[in-house]
Amino acid sequence: MESTEKKVPQHVSIIMDGNGRWARERGKERVYGHLNGVESVRAVTEESVAQGIKYLSLYAFSEENWNRPQEEVGYLMELMMKSIAGEFENLMKNGVRFVVLGNRARLSATLNGAIDTLMEQTKDNPNLTLIVFLSYSGKWDILQAAKKLALAAVNDPHVLDNLQIQDFDDYLVTAGVPDPDLIIRTSGEQRISNYLLWQGAYSEFYFTDVMWPDFRKEAYREALAEYARRDRRYGKVK
């Protein structure tokens, strides 16, 4: 039997989808789904630590999500604020480093302040890096990277000599983070919705009909088991 050791992904990423439909199915407002989704975040974070996964990243709010009704956007930002305030002890207990990536200029000063504080407090935690993508989109990330590179090249044209694909990685907001091995999307949708376009170039995809508020440890373990059965070839022949 092949060892299962190396079959544990280093980086799992999740497009947390289906909160609104989950709530509607229960005759509740969409925001009730967002509220219940927080418990799923806690569950997959704990399970990631238990499984020895080093990076867990979560697509929490896309650049496109700013176009939702103002009420829902406001609720989501409020919920983010509350979760950040409430999670400190849990993150410390589990040794989790908290990181937010995205277009942070669009977030409020209060939320940015709370994020910075939690990132600083948890920065030395060794078990798992939990990345929350907030106001993020893949095209936005590639564009901001291209702008940074263009500026660097204006200052020193030699930057472009021998520029490798790996060098471009360093201009993305995910610099230093390994590419996701596995991208999970809940709720039955099978699309990338402008998520990790560059970084997901060779990720394994796992789609499940389970709505995000119902995606707990058992559903997560099933996804990880499926990943362990995948054969990653990277264009080569075995």
Q: Sort 142 into a burial class: Cβ within 10 Å, 0-12 / 13-18 / 19+.
A: middle
CB of 90 to ligand IPE, least distance (A): 21
Coil, helix or strand at residue 6:
helix
Q: Give min distance, CB of 60 to ligand IPE, in A.
A: 6
Q: In angstroms, how far is the first alpha carbon of the chain from the final one?
A: 18
Question: How many Å apart are CA 189 and CA 139, to the nearest integer?
Answer: 20
Does 62 bind ligand IPE (CB under 6 A)? Our answer is: yes
User: In degrees rounded to 5, what are phi and psi of residue 213?
Assistant: -65, -20
State which of positions 201-220 bind ligand IPE (CB under 6 A): 212
Q: Which of 14, 15, 16, 17 binds Mg ion (CB under 5 A)?
A: 17
User: Which of Mg ion, ligand IPE, none is residue 19 near (CB under 5 to 8 Å by kind)?
Assistant: ligand IPE
User: Is 59 strand, coil or helix?
Assistant: strand
CB nearer to ligand IPE: pick between 16 and 223: 16
Is 194 catalytic? The answer is: no
155 part of the active site = no
Residue of 11, 12, 13, 16 that binds ligand IPE (CB under 6 A): 16
Q: Which of 19, 36, 65, 169 is catalytic?
A: 65
The secondary structure of 172-219 as a DSSP string is STTTTSPPPSEEEE-TT----TT-STTTTTT-EEEE-SS-GGG--HHH
What residues are labeled active site?
17, 65
Residues that bind ligand IPE (CB under 6 A): 15-21, 59-62, 64-65, 76, 187, 189, 191, 193, 212
Residues that bind Mg ion (CB under 5 A): 17
